[in-house]
Amino acid sequence: MIYQTAQDWQNAPHKRVLFFGMSGLGKTYLSNLLRDQGDWFHYSIDYRIGTRYMGEHIADNFKAEAMKVPFLRELLMSDSIRITSKISFENLSPVATYLGKPGNVEKGGLPIDEYRRRQEQFKAAEISALMDTSAFIDRAERIYGYPHFICDSGGSICEWIDPALGEHDPILAELSKHCLLVWLRGDAAHTQKLVERFDRAPKPMAYQPEFLARVWGEYLNEFNVKEDDIDPDAFIRWTYAQALNHRQPLYEHMARYGVSLCAHEVAQIKSPQDFDRMISAAIDAH
């Protein structure tokens, strides 16, 4: 860890952290709080993915849909209109919409081969965005004068790290060299709430290719359906709890090289000073 003791953290003129964990446990809450109340630069991995690495894919998808409408097709072909996404920290839905869900096209799904292609695009984009972290640490201080830095990562960060490589995993090694890794973890009650929330509004997710292949095959067998007949929302609802279980040991592995905060603790943080105290205690407890 780049801060070996609580005193190292307290005395550091430049505090650098990377939040990781499942969506809904406080990563963006903490990032916004520190950005709004302190001298912290907020680097959002999902925003970087959507604007730098997948913006063209997203816009091309919009154009492909527009080309199906004769009126819009004519305007596009004559270069009379411009179609682009409007991504912000608060609205990252263009990325999720592009990622999509596999299954019946008439129900809003994607053919599985196209879905896998987009998953691979997202994987490459997220890894690239993560590896840009050190460059943004430099930019945040050199250009904008921010002394402190937050990397607000997506829930799928753990999918691309190989636990068998330990500290030699290239993503883990690069990130831990520049930031204190902070796992925002939930307990059983949080997990149940996440499942209930996802069931109400299922959202696209990124999966490790091996995990996706396994759950896709199991779903086809268990429900005796063909690929083209799968209800996209039903599939990702069924997959979500398994994805939580799949990611838990991966997050635990990452936390060996950083610290962890329970979501209950995160909810008690109301100021940068509260955050400093909690991180100090977590470092001492590591």
* Annotated domain spans of the chain: 6-44+113-278
Q: Is the pLDDT of residue 267 over 90?
A: no
Is residue 103 within a helix (H) or strand (E), and if so which, with residue range?
A: none
Q: Give me the torsion for CA of 17, 19, 25, 27, rounded to 10°.
A: 70
- Give me the DSSP letters along 68-101: TSHHHHHHHHTT---------SS--HHHHHHH--
Q: Tokens in use for 192?
A: 């149940």
The pTM for the full model equals: 0.93
Alpha helices in 159-231 (DSSP H): 170-178, 188-200, 209-223
Q: Is the pLDDT of residue 88 over 90?
A: no
Report the C-alpha gap between 85 and 93 in whole angstroms. 10
% of the chain with per-residue pLDDT over 70: 100
pLDDT on residue 75: 93
Helices and strands (H, E) in the chain, number of each type? 14, 5
Round the average pLDDT of the chain to a whole number and report it: 93
Least confident stretch, 61-70, 79-88, 107-116, 224-233: 79-88
Report the C-alpha gap between 152 and 184 in whole angstroms. 11
Report the C-alpha gap between 21 and 221 in whole angstroms. 31
- What is the tens place of the pLDDT at every residue in 137-190? 999 999 999 999 999 999 999 999 999 999 999 999 999 999 999 999 988 888
Burial of 265 (0-12, 13-18, 19+ CB in 10 A): middle
Q: How is the beta sheet containing 148-152 ordered, strand by strand?
A: 40-44, 148-152, 16-20, 180-185, 258-262
In single-letter form, the type of residue at position 280 comes to S
8 Å CB contact between 25 and 186: yes
Report the C-alpha gap between 58 and 49 in whole angstroms. 11
Sign (positive/negative) of CA torsion 86, 90, 95, 100? Answer: negative
% of the chain with per-residue pLDDT over 90: 82
CATH class of segment(s) 6-44+113-278: alpha beta
With tokens 């604007």, the residue in question is 51
Q: Is the pLDDT of residue 90 over 80?
A: no
pLDDT on residue 189: 82
pLDDT on residue 120: 97
Report the C-alpha gap between 86 and 252 in whole angstroms. 35
Least confident stretch, 34-43, 183-192, 214-223: 183-192
8 Å CB contact between 183 and 260: yes
- What is the tens place of the pLDDT at every residue in 60-79? 999 999 999 999 999 999 99
Which residues face 44 on adjacent strands? 152
pLDDT on residue 137: 98
Beta carbons within 8 Å of 126's beta carbon, 6+ residues apart:
45, 49, 154, 156, 157, 160, 206
